[in-house]
Amino acid sequence: MHQTSRWAKTSVTLGLAVPFALMSGFAGAQELTIGSKIEPGTLDPHYRNSGENHSHLPAMMEYLMWRDADLNVQPHLITELRKIDDVTYEASLREGVVFHDGSTFDAADVAYVVERIPAIPEGLGDFIGFIDEIDRVEIVDAHRVVFHLTEPVADLARNLSSVMALPSELGLDVSPAQFDSGEAVIGTGPYRLESFTPGQGLVLSRFDEYWGAAPDFETVTIQPISNDASRVAALMGGEVDLIDFVPLADAARLREDADIAVFEAPESRLMFAMMDSIRDDSPYVRGADGEPLAENPLRNPAVRRALSLAIDRGLLIDRVLEGAGTPAAQALSPEVACTSADLAVPDYDPDAARALLAEAGYPEGFGITLHGPSDRYPGGERVVQALAQFWSQIGLDVEVETFTRSVFFDRARANEYSIYFAGYGATTTFNVLNAIAHTNDPDLGRGAANRGRYSNPAVDEMIVAASRETDAETRCAMTARINDMVFGQDVGIIPLYHPLNSWAARTDAGVTYAPNPEGLTWLRGASLSAQ
Amino acid sequence: MVRFILFRLIQGIGLMFVIAALVFFAVFLIGDPVELLINPEATQQDRQRAIERLGLDLPLWQQFLTYLGGLLQGDVGTSWVYNRPALEVMLERMPATLELAIGAVLLSALVGIPLGLYAGYRPNTYLSRGIMTGSIVGFSLPTFWVGIVFIVVFAVELDWFPVIGRGDTVEVFGVSTSLLTLDGLHHAALPILTLALSRISLVMRLVRSGTQEILGQDYVTLARAKGVPERRILWRHVLPNLMIPLVTVLGLDFAGLLAFAIVTETIFSWPGMGKLIIDSIFSLDRPMIVAYLICVAALFVIANLIVDVLYGVLDPRISVADRGRG
């Protein structure tokens, strides 16, 4: 299992090979062992839409389109997606792509995938949302298809960037067991599956007929190590070359190790404080004297702005998160498309916050209970404590209550809190806003993560309009404007920070990692560096 | 005897149904599994679809009846995470846990019994006192701490042992084991030692106090008066009498080891049942959790049964059948 790639070790025994290999930039037979916190439950690429599967499966089974490091959608197996009208798109497929079983990737395979996803009897139906509007796939020729939609879709290309291709020869009856045995794991990716043992990980080998650039590694072992301390120990002991989800507390120590490098990237996720600004009588708000208040102070934008100004985001990230975050001013960090150029991270200003509270009629502050999940986000419980302290400083009487996540989100959805800490991650600015800033409306299917019930009809209208807009640029401008309304004008949601994800690799084995904003441990991010 | 075993088995099956019901409702109360299973980016429609596909939109009693129906046919459900029958996933992980537990019990018996016998036979030597002091350390240290210290010392600093996984395994009668390959043993050494540490201490103390008690018995005095050699007294008279409490403790402990080696398995990334249940609890994979707990209940029932049967073998005076009727 772990004839791991202590590359340095093996090559020392080879003696002469060392200088040669160094010169050639670590060319030749190479092994990589990844110690990953997560592991796919099943290898069916259309079963669960989860980080586990999106991390480790695309090395074998490729997406129809893919998202780059800036989250923009790029051609992949589909080389071009042309819009004919609102409900018709023509796609050209890459030629010369072969599956691991030697068959050619063609139009029938695209049609097959669209047909297969809703036909899987088990599971959550996680992937149906990506192709739900595709009415039928018309095969024009071997490398051209036309997607006929039932209704206009804002971003079909992005939807297809989450869908992995399989050969149509598998048929609709392919069973879960066939995937787990590896028999049906047939993709077009740079690696093919050698073996999969649940709990013990995956072994992959290079696929020599891959259409793209040949990957650096001949064999790759993905070893699940869910315990944080063990994962770090395995890297330090040289048993693995690359780990993901470096624990906050260990990142600094690993950085000091000359043989180890830490790679990090801000995640496309917003951590925020959500406030109940629609109910007159909110369950966890009380007067400074502990008596019920006549009205809910969180309905007042000045109060919400005061709460935001009271937070020293720099200090929070530095001390509580050990640097693993970037301060947030809006839905996603400004490098991501469709964010607003006009929003700056609010300056820490407790005096202004106190003044705002006094103006709003709460010179003595008021009492509030802050809720948060205890085990969902790295450092989350401490962030909740820190927020409570910041708000105490401006005269609020803050109590803190945290729950395990299964309980926490259940209660959040039932609207049981007045103010809570949580996060939301998505691959576009629009998707974040649609989930957290639109009024919670299960029938419309919007505002799924707006569990604190922020609601502004003007924002809702804009979100709906943007979702129907198929021109990318106009949609982008509208999205930026929604950011301004939610975070600038209303302070309907307090933006806190974007978490940083980190990976660590053994530089003495020549391994480097190009991190991505989705926090996925993608094999295509791992490479050998010429030292 | 046969009647007794049958009776206990029926009792056990009844117990497992009670547990299945309890667990089913308890897990339902923990929270919403869809919240944890579904991608956070999912829309409200996606969520609704997931709820319907898992049958979670039905009333609770109806869900339970469906589940009970499956259970009567021996179907404990399909894991929502692994997309396979939960029992199958569970049994696949069992050998890994089994070898840890067997290793730990054997090690604690092999080390604990001789040391305990010595400490009981010669209680006043320095060595005996050392053994007893060591045993206090042995069972006061928490497993998670011992595991991490072993990793840091033996794997990271000294680089003697690997930290993760099972190593090479071989198939014996269709069951994969790492106890029969050198590489596998190398991997299993630290987790087994971690698990065994507190058990060694327990066995040692149990054997020592038993030895002292038995040495004071009349039949030992008589044997000595007859001039029976000391060695024969220890092996022929003391040890067999020690076996009954020892088998009770180790037998029940064995089931406990199987069910709750969770901490050790997590630390050493040992792909056993403990790690499986932790992962399943985190994702609220209800069929998996229920299947696990039913299996654990079965394990305890079987371990108890074996212990009872062994009583009869070890001590002819105990009639197992009588105990069963009482």
For residue B278, which residues of chain A lie inside 8 Å, CB to CB? 226
Give me the helices (H) in B155-216, please: 182-215
Q: Which residues make Cβ contacts (< 8 Å) with residue B202, sequence separation at least 6?
A: B108, B112, B139, B249, B253
- Best CA proximity match to A415, nearest among A253, A282, A243, A261: A282
pLDDT tens string B80-115:
888 888 888 888 888 888 888 888 989 988 998 889
The residue of chain A nearest to residue B77, with distances taken between CA atoms, is A122
Res A191 pLDDT > 90: yes
For residue B321, the model assigns a pLDDT of 53
Work out the minimum CA distance from A444 to partner chain B, whole angstroms. 8
Q: How far, CA to CA in Å, does B202 sit from each of A69, B73, B207, B250, B311?
A: 56, 42, 9, 10, 20
Q: How far is CA A162 from the centre of its chain?
A: 12
B89, A431: Cβ pair inside 8 Å?
Answer: no
Contact predicate A265/A333, CB 8 Å: no
Give the lowest-confidence range in A458-462, A525-529, B26-30, B207-211: B26-30
| Option in B41, B163, B166 nearest A230 (CB) | B163
The Cα–Cα gap between B164 and A389 comes to 41
Res A214 pLDDT > 70: yes
> Cα torsion at B38, B44, B48, B53 (round to 10°)?
-40
Contact predicate B203/B109, CB 8 Å: yes
Arithmetic mean of pLDDT over chain A: 87
Q: Which residues make Cβ contacts (< 8 Å) with residue B69, sequence separation at least 6?
A: none
Strand partners, A146: A90, A138
Binned at pLDDT 50, 70 and 90, residue A10 comes out as very low
Average pLDDT, integer, range A379-390? 94
Q: Which residues make Cβ contacts (< 8 Å) with residue A483, sequence separation at least 6?
A: A330, A331, A339, A340, A343, A429, A433
Res B25 pLDDT > 60: yes
Inform me whether the C-beta atom of residue B32 falls under 8 Å from chain A C-beta atoms. yes
Inform me whether the C-beta atom of residue B150 falls under 8 Å from chain A C-beta atoms. no
Strand partners, A98: A104
Res B172 pLDDT > 70: no
Q: Which residue would you say has higher pLDDT here, A414 or A77?
A: A77
For residue A79, the model assigns a pLDDT of 96
For residue B267, which residues of chain A lie inside 8 Å, CB to CB? 227, 229-230
Q: What is the DSSP string of A269-316?
A: EEEEEEE--S-SS-TTEEETTSSPPSS-GGGSHHHHHHHHHT--HHHI
For residue A223, which residues of chain B lie inside 8 Å, CB to CB? 164-165, 269
The residue of chain A nearest to residue B280, with distances taken between CA atoms, is A41
For residue A223, the model assigns a pLDDT of 92
The residue of chain A nearest to residue B282, with distances taken between CA atoms, is A406
The residue of chain A nearest to residue B89, with distances taken between CA atoms, is A198
Inform me whether the C-beta atom of residue B31 falls under 8 Å from chain A C-beta atoms. yes
SS3 A419: strand
The Cα–Cα gap between A439 and A21 comes to 59
Binned at pLDDT 50, 70 and 90, residue B324 comes out as very low
- Beta pairing, strands B170-172 & A242-243: unpaired
The Cα–Cα gap between B180 and B169 comes to 7
pLDDT tens string A34-50:
999 988 888 999 988 88
| Option in A35, A50, A409 nearest B35 (CB) | A409
Q: What is the CA radius of gyration of chain B?
A: 24
SS3 A45: coil
For residue B96, which residues of chain A lie inside 8 Å, CB to CB? 199
Average pLDDT, integer, range A335-354? 90
Q: Which residue would you say has higher pLDDT here, A69 or B167?
A: A69
Contact predicate B150/B187, CB 8 Å: no
B266, A226: Cβ pair inside 8 Å?
Answer: yes
Contact predicate B188/B164, CB 8 Å: no
For residue B271, which residues of chain A lie inside 8 Å, CB to CB? 197-200
For residue A407, which residues of chain B lie inside 8 Å, CB to CB? 30-31
Instruction: Provide the ipTM.
Output: 0.75
**Backbone φ and ψ of B3, nearest 5°:** -60, -40
The Cα–Cα gap between A483 and A433 comes to 8
DSSP, res A487: I
Q: How far is CA A476 from the centre of its chain?
A: 20
B45, A1: Cβ pair inside 8 Å?
Answer: no
B173 conformational bin, left if phi > 0, alpha if psi -120 to 50, beta if neither: left
Binned at pLDDT 50, 70 and 90, residue B174 comes out as low
Inform me whether the C-beta atom of residue B186 falls under 8 Å from chain A C-beta atoms. no
For residue B318, the model assigns a pLDDT of 65
**Backbone φ and ψ of A194, nearest 5°:** -95, -50
Answer yes or no: pTM beyond 0.90.
Answer: no
Work out the minimum CA distance from A405 to partner chain B, whole angstroms. 8
Token pair belonging to B292: 């696990």
Length of chain A: 531
B83, A122: Cβ pair inside 8 Å?
Answer: yes
Contact predicate A44/B78, CB 8 Å: no
Q: Percent helix, strand, coil in chain B (nearest 5)? A: 75, 0, 20
